[in-house]
Structure 1
Amino acid sequence: MPSVTVRPAVEADCADILRFVRELAEFEHEAHSVKASEEDFRRDGWGEHPVFEALIAELDGTPVGFALTFRNYSTWEGRPGLFVEDLYVTPDARKHSVGRHLLSAVAQRAVERGYRRVDLNVLNWNPARGFYDRIGFRQMEEWLPYRLSGDALAALAAESP
């Protein structure tokens, strides 16, 4: 049985992180949407003001997946939480519980830091929804995600005095 390990990402992992992001985007039929570069990840993960953290999953020492998180805040809980922006495991590694190992490590970080929750989004057609249900994530039926970006973001920003 192959050995699964999860470790904090280091700056040298930026190429693997970008590869995983591109593979995830391909899976989600959005390969054309990836604009990020290794330099972006270096700046935003290991620069002067890091805005994300990542974990790398390895199978017998070979990187096979990652989880990228950032801190959010719940005004109701009065505590921070972690938002999982991306979770990806290469198809061949999925049968080895790599995703579960990654989310367990994310949960451990949250608990150790006194955070009260871990949030993520999943596409409605993604078969991983069953996986998330099995490990205890619950779909929020009443809360709908909204996003402001592109021209609409610029137009609203232009209204600010």
Structure 2
Amino acid sequence: MPTVVIRPAVEADSSVIMRFVRELAEFEREPQSVKSSEEDLRRDGWGETPMFEALIAELDGEAVGFALTSRTYSTWEGRPGLFVEDLYVTPAARRYGVGRKLLAAIARRAVERGYRRVDLNVLDWNPARGFYDRIGFRQLQEWLPYRLTGDGLAALAAETA
């Protein structure tokens, strides 16, 4: 059985993370939507004010996946949480429990820090939904995601008080 190691990402992993981001976007049928760069990752993950943390999954020493999280805050819980922005494992490595180990590492990080929850989004057609269900994640039926970007964001920001 191959050895799976989960480790914190370092700045030198930016190119690997960027490759995985592009592979994930391909899988999600939106490769044209990736606007970020390795420089963005370096600045925002290891700059003066880090905006995210990442984990790298290695299978027998080769990077085969990653998870990228950022901190959230729940006014109802009165505690922070973690949001999993991206979780990706290469197709060939999916049968070795890599995704589960990445999520377990995220859960440990949350518990060690006193955080109360871990959130993520999954596309409705993604077969990984069953994987998340088996781990214990639950789909929030009554909560619908909304997003403001592009022209709508600029227009609202331009409104005067």
Code of the residue aligned with 1:108 in structure 2: it is R
Q: Which residue number in structure 2 is paired with residue 132 of structure 1?
A: 132
Distance 2:47 2:114 in 1: 25
Distance 2:32 2:64 in 1: 22
Distance 2:160 2:116 in 1: 34
Q: Which residue number in structure 1 is paired with residue 156 of structure 2?
A: 156
Are 1:88 and 2:88 an aligned pair? yes
Q: Which residue number in structure 2 is paired with residue 145 of structure 1?
A: 145
1:36-90 CA-partner distances (Å, limit 9, x unpaired): 1000000000000000000000000100000000000000000000000000000
Which structure 2 residue ranges, 5 or more long, are not aligned? none
Percent identity of paired positions between Structure 1 and Structure 2 = 80
Distance 2:29 2:135 in 1: 26
Code of the residue aligned with 1:102 in structure 2: it is L
TM-score by length of 1: 0.99
SS of the residue corresponding to residue 142 of structure 2 reads coil
Number of equivalenced pairs: 161
1:117-149 CA-partner distances (Å, limit 9, x unpaired): 000000000000000000000000000000000
Q: Measure how far apart 1:153 and its partner are.
A: 0.2
Are 1:28 and 2:25 an aligned pair? no
SS of the residue corresponding to residue 151 of structure 1 reads helix
Code of the residue aligned with 1:145 in structure 2: it is P
Are 1:61 and 2:32 an aligned pair? no
Code of the residue aligned with 1:61 in structure 2: it is G
Q: Which residue number in structure 1 is paired with residue 52 of structure 2?
A: 52
Distance 2:136 2:126 in 1: 17
1:92-113 CA-partner distances (Å, limit 9, x unpaired): 0000010000000000000000
Code of the residue aligned with 2:31 in structure 1: it is A
Q: Measure how far apart 1:160 and its partner are.
A: 3.6
CA distance 1:88–1:159, shift in 2 (3 Å): same
Following TM superposition, the consecutive aligned residue runs of length 4 or more in structure 1 with deviations greater than 3 angstroms are none
TM-score by length of 2: 0.99
Distance 2:9 2:160 in 1: 38
SS of the residue corresponding to residue 82 of structure 1 reads strand
